[in-house]
Amino acid sequence: MRRRLTVLYYSSGDRPVPAPIDGWLEERELVVSRFREVGEMESVVLRNPPTLVLIDGEGDNGAGLSLCRDLKEDGYTAVAPVVVIAGDQTSDEVGTWFRAGADEVISSTFAPAEQTARLDGLLLRTERNVSVHPSTRLPGTNEIERAIRDRLERGESFAVCYADLDHFKEYNDRYSYRDGDRVIFLLSRILADVTRGICGRAGFVGHIGGDDFIMVLPLGCVHEVCGETIAVFDELISFQYSEQDRRAGYFFGRDRRGQLYRVPLMTLSIGVVTNEYRRFGHPARASELATEMKSYAKTLPGSVFVVDRRHDRDKPIQGG
């Protein structure tokens, strides 16, 4: 599903986009939305990461620098490339922007051809970034592993939740891959919005691929996030079916032998593991245990989440 290419431009002084960059945007038919308030712009980025974020760095009073840092410290918004449009700044000031996470700093001292070449190169690198799933724009496997590893290194208590759709393949076979893509995108938005609304920046959502997703959550958020996710999913998923299938609550599919069987509407299974009683020596171990719990959850009827209650011998049970 092709999405509209958008560029968000922040300038506290309401300065226009410099002519060379403005011409580059127009030539590539990129739609520009302008903002003077940091909070308003951040909320837009959180809803749907744009193709490009432009920040006016000339005479910046610190708000633009804070915006850049906040966007790049968040696992979801960090995927949006950030370009700072600087004036005739010193090397120290340019270095400050890069340390804040800027992907590119374009100075007015650059020739127009160099400015546009740098922008072209940045977009090309962004498209090649394999750490982001192209259909949902959620962080991919590399970022998932990093999110788990960072929490392990900081000694945090956290949960890894593996979310997977049930009967998704049959849905794709009956409808189309475009309808399937729409369902996957819908689930990605539910997971991201619920996690963000409950956990704030402490929660992380990644996309492994297909209909498989990972959430990395603080322990105290697990039941609320998983419960709310399932409630919203169950409320919305029936509208992805035809009226006939929705009313029946199922449709007929064929097994490998060509025999008809009833296929229920899609449900959501979430397997949860925590390091409260288990020891994760490596992100791969957390992923392995979460996969086990997801597989178990899929054996249960309806949309469910199940939490691993097992404990390692060297991890004492609280209150025991």
Six-digit token string for 151: 């929490």
Interval 194-246: pLDDT, tens:
999 999 989 999 999 999 999 999 999 999 999 999 999 999 999 999 999 99
Amino acid in the structure at residue 110: F
Interval 225-239: pLDDT, tens:
999 999 999 999 999
User: What does pTM read for this prediction?
Assistant: 0.69
Query: Domains in the chain, start-ordered, CATH in brackets?
Result: 6-127 (3.40.50.2300), 141-307 (3.30.70.270)
- pLDDT confidence of residue 158: 97
Q: In a 10 Å sphere around its CB, with 0-12 CB exposed, 13-18 middle and 19+ buried, how is residue 139 labelled? A: buried
- Segment-wise mean pLDDT, segments of 10 residues, the chain, 320 residues: 70 88 92 91 87 87 90 86 83 87 91 93 78 79 92 95 96 92 96 96 94 97 98 97 95 85 96 93 93 97 95 56
Phi-psi region of 167 (alpha: psi -120 to 50; beta: other; left: phi over 0): left
Q: In a 10 Å sphere around its CB, with 0-12 CB exposed, 13-18 middle and 19+ buried, how is residue 101 labelled? A: middle
Calculate the alpha carbon distances from 250 to 122, 184, 191, 255, 260 in Å: 47, 19, 25, 15, 12
Closest CA to 293 of 192, 187, 159: 159
- pLDDT confidence of residue 314: 58
